[in-house]
Amino acid sequence: MQTGMKDAALHVDLFVPPAGTWTLSPIDIGVDQPAFQNMWRQGYFQVAWPALPNHTNPALNITLTLVDSGDGGQTYQQGSTFTNGVSWILPEVTINIPGVAVTGAPAGACNFPFPPDVRGPVGLLVSLAAGIADCSKCLITGDYIAG
C-alpha cells in the first residue's frame, strides 16, 4: 500500500476510545507555510487499524476523519476559510468501519489525501457510536507518507 517515503517524525498512535466518545491525535505536516500552494498535496496520511473482534454490530460504525486546524492546533474541525473570509467545507475525508456480526471487523488500512485549502496542523479523529462493544485495547496508527 505504501508508495512514498514514511516520515518517522510524523507518526501517530491512538487507542480506540470508549463507545459514544472520540479521540484526536494531531500532526503538523507544515501546510500552513507560505511556500505551499492551494492544491492537492502529493503526500497522504496512511491509517491502519487492527482486527476489531468486539465490533460485531453491523448497524454501528467506528468513524475515522481527517480534520484540520485553522488556529494553530487550538481547535480542530472539518472545514476551511478562503483568504477573502468566505467559509466553506473541505471535501470530507472519512472512513466508516462497520461492525461484522459474529467475527468482528477485519483489519484494514486507508490512505487519506490532503485536499486543497487544508490548514495545518491536521489530525486523525476517531469517534465511536454509542453501543459499540469495548475495542479500547485496539491501536490505530497513522503515518505521513511523502509523495
Q: Where are the domains of the chain?
A: 18-146
pLDDT tens column, 56-112: 999 999 999 888 877 777 777 755 554 445 444 455 788 999 999 999 999 999 998
Beta bridge partners of 141: 13, 48
Q: Which cell is 79 given? A: 472545514
> Is 139's pLDDT higher than 90?
yes
Q: Which residue has the higher pLDDT, 107 or 45?
A: 107
Q: Report pLDDT for 107.
A: 97
* pTM (2 d.p.): 0.81
Q: Which fold has domain 18-146?
A: Jelly Rolls (2.60.120)
For residue 103, the model assigns a pLDDT of 95
Sort 47 into a burial class: Cβ within 10 Å, 0-12 / 13-18 / 19+: buried
Locus of grid cell 477485519 = 106
For 133, the grid coordinates are 462493544
Torsion of CA 51, 52, 54, 56, to 10 degrees: -100
144 residue type, one letter: Y
pLDDT band at 7 (very low <50, low <70, confident <90, very high): confident
